[in-house]
């Protein structure tokens, strides 16, 4: 897909739920599916569900999101969370990145509970891809471990 053909898209971040699928079907906008490293949730979970439901989407690597926001291609962010409390939400690794990009570019964020995760992931951090280790001998001193992130309520409000 060419960059020029993307407009008014919805970015999804996290493990899409049934509620999210229903919302996206009703909305009928193009869905941006980032890879969601290190777990590759976008590729292994979200893209197959969207394809099965005939929801139009484009898959991209996580670092392309900055360009898509900068070019005004994203109209809304749909952030799937693990936990909701009075201080905000807890989401998978990268949730804060998606929320900060949305806030920086004045894009509204809608939150929804993620699907209950029953998937075992081969990758837990940036030292591997598809379970293959790249930096086995230097894991302890050069890898930032992935973990859940808290997005405070004030960041979610436009």
Task: Tell me 155's DSSP state.
Answer: H
Residues in Cβ contact with 6 at an 8 Å cutoff, skipping those fewer than 6 apart: 30, 32, 58, 68, 73
Q: Is residue 121's pLDDT more than 70?
A: no
Cis amide leading into 38 (omega within 30): yes
Q: What value does the mean pLDDT take over residues 8-36?
A: 94
Considering only CA atoms, which of 104, 84, 98 is closest in space to residue 41?
A: 98
Sheet with 149-152: list strands edge to edge: 83-85, 88-91, 149-152
Q: Is residue 98's pLDDT more than 70?
A: yes
Domain ranges of the chain: 3-156
Annotation: CATH topology of 3-156: Rossmann fold (3.40.50)
Q: What value does the mean pLDDT take over residues 102-125?
A: 81
The predicted pLDDT at position 107 comes to 96
Query: pLDDT tens for residues 61-70?
Result: 998 999 999 9
Contact 34, 11 (CB under 8 A): yes
CA pair distance 154, 42, nearest whole angstrom: 26
Higher pLDDT, residue 86 or 128: 86
CA pair distance 112, 95, nearest whole angstrom: 13
Q: Is residue 135's pLDDT more than 60?
A: no
């Amino acid at each position: 897909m060419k960059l020029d053909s993307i407009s008014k898209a919805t970015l999804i971040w996290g493990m899409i739920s049934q509620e999210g699928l229903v919302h996206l079907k009703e909305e009928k906008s193009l869905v941006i599916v980032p890879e969601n490293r290190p777990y590759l949730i976008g590729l292994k979970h979200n893209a197959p569900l969207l394809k099965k439901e005939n929801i139009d989407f484009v898959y991209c690597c996580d670092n392309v999101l900055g360009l898509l926001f900068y070019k005004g291609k994203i109209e809304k962010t749909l952030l799937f969370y693990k936990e909701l409390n009075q201080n905000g939400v807890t989401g998978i690794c990268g949730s804060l990145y998606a929320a900060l990009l949305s806030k920086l570019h004045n894009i509204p964020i809608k939150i929804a509970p993620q699907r209950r995760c029953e998937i075992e992931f081969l990758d837990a951090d940036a030292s591997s891809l598809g379970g293959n280790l790249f930096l086995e001998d230097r894991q302890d001193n050069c890898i930032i471990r992935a973990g859940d992130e808290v997005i405070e309520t004030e960041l979610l409000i436009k």
